[in-house]
Amino acid sequence: MPLTTPRVRAALVAAASAGLIAAALPAPEPLGIGDPLFPHLGNPGYDVLTYDISLTYSGDNRAPLDALTKIQARATHRLERINLDFAHGTVQAVEVDGRPAEFALAGEDLVVAPARPVEAGRALTIAVTHTSDPSAEKAVGGWVRTADGLAMANQADAAHRVFPCNDHPADKALFTFRVTAPKDLTAVANGQWIGRAHAGASTTWVYRGLHPMATELAQVSIGRSAVIRRTGPRGLPLRDVVPAADRKRMEPWLRKTPGHVQWMEQKVGRYPFDTYGVLIADAATGFELETQTLSLFERPLFTHPKLPEWYVESVMVHELAHHWFGNSVTPRTWSDLWLNEGHATWYEALYAEETARRPLEHRMRDAYTASDRWRAAGGPPAAPRPPAAGQKISLFRPVVYDGSALVLYALRQEIGKGLFEALQRRWVTEHAHGTAGTSDFVRLASEVAGRDLTGFLHAWLYDRKTPPMPGHPDWRSKAPGQEQAPAAKPAKGTA
């Protein structure tokens, strides 16, 4: 029989173990789409088309935000239940196609039982009234508390700690954010600013992205911020968001972005989104993040007195490069992460070579020296070991940064600079705003090269030992336990 009373529903949510609508159905359980690194991430049976997320912020960055998440999706299978990824919030109500639905929490899944099953091929709308709690431990990701408010850092699996979603990069969707905050604060989010409305002591800001986005790339920032606008190549609108007190101090860095965009466009083609910008959060996160159209940077990156200018700029280029490699062309599984980080590290290093006389070959030789140790510690680039329990960001090891850029260097050595650059441009063009995996890259590389590169790339991507480097027979990789040679510091590219 259906559960009908608030008391029964509250008990169900707390226990996360009772049945939903009929004894014939098994108990709610967390599902996943079979990602080898995150087995319970994502959910089968539907494809999300859009998210419309409303957040109300009180001004206290330790207090839960009131939220309403609306999801438009299409069922790919008949669904008696709908699993969403969600944690670190309280669910008050769920509706499916405007009808109240029963729900329960199981692990980090919100399990919804619609009033009637959803047939395959049918469009559906899910509305979840909930809270979004920024007071969870920082190590789990999601909300980042800043000196003056909040920002998001959802990589790799933390978007569902902010809002209910299908939290896997394989299911990209269009996003709209509606953020209500005290009127003396500024709210920003991915995409274009649609408008704002004042009501009493609050202001509601609306932002909408024009291209599909993975949940891990969502960004909302609320604080005492200055929004600085300028124009990039071909009239591209640029929007930077910085603590208001830092506006003049950060300007020398911010005005470099148009040149960074122009440099990247010369390498791989037109910037793939409708806007770009730098979000500087007054927080010490220890990482930077390529949140779509508004890359997140920690303030200390720009204020540390010992960081050279070339290094800071190369990190800025790293995050920008992700907008082609990772944001537009998104990995199909988390094991394809090397495609994101290897390419972003490649262009970071190439930028340092071309603008600061930091030879790419020297960095790649150092990476080659360390490669066997990196593979032993974290697995080969395209088959990384799962992150340590409770430490999801431990997935971002040196092997996915310089160790993966080393694969690209080997490929360029093997096929030549001209074909390599043609491959880069075709990759981001043919898979723009979609998802792609390692096998797709190997196929395209072989097509561009005019010969089968499967064996060559398989060794570089999957072998325990680093293959010989074409053109550098003298390079050696030190085995685990041997004295470590200096290696380039991985970019602070992701969590």
- Phi, psi for 405 (deg, rounded to 5): -60, -30
Share of the chain above pLDDT 90, in %: 85
Residue 17 — pLDDT band, cuts 50, 70, 90? very low
Q: In what order do the strands lie in the sheet with 142-146?
A: 142-146, 149-153, 220-223, 186-189
What domains lie within the chain, and their CATH numbers?
A: 28-223 (2.60.40.1730), 329-462 (1.10.390.10)
> What is the C-alpha to C-alpha distance for residues 321 and 317, in angstroms, rounded to an integer?
6
Q: What is the pTM of this model?
A: 0.92
Q: What is the pLDDT of residues 20-34, one digit of tens each?
A: 333 345 688 889 999
Using an 8 Å Cβ cutoff, are 395 and 441 in contact?
no
Q: What is the pLDDT of residues 354-397, one digit of tens each?
A: 999 999 999 999 999 999 999 999 999 999 998 877 666 778 99
As to burial, measured by CB atoms within 10 angstroms (0-12 exposed, 13-18 middle, 19+ buried), residue 259 is: middle
Q: Is 400 helix (H, G, I), strand (E, B) or coil?
A: helix
- Phi, psi for 284 (deg, rounded to 5): -105, 90
Which residue spans within 12-138 are E strands per DSSP?
46-56, 65-75, 82-85, 91-96, 99-100, 102-106, 109-113, 123-132
Instruction: Tell which residue, 322, 279, 304, has the closest CA to residue 493.
Output: 322
Q: What angle do CA 298, 303, 309 make, to 5 degrees?
A: 100
Cis peptide before 101 (omega within 30 of 0): no
Q: What angle do CA 316, 320, 324 make, to 5 degrees?
A: 155
Q: What is the pLDDT of residues 45-100, one digit of tens each?
A: 999 999 999 999 999 999 999 999 999 999 999 999 999 999 999 999 999 999 99
Instruction: Tell which residue, 242, 76, 51, 62, has the closest CA to residue 163.
Output: 51
Burial per residue of 37-48, b for 16 or more beta-carbon CB atoms within 10 angstroms, e otherwise: bbebbbbebbeb
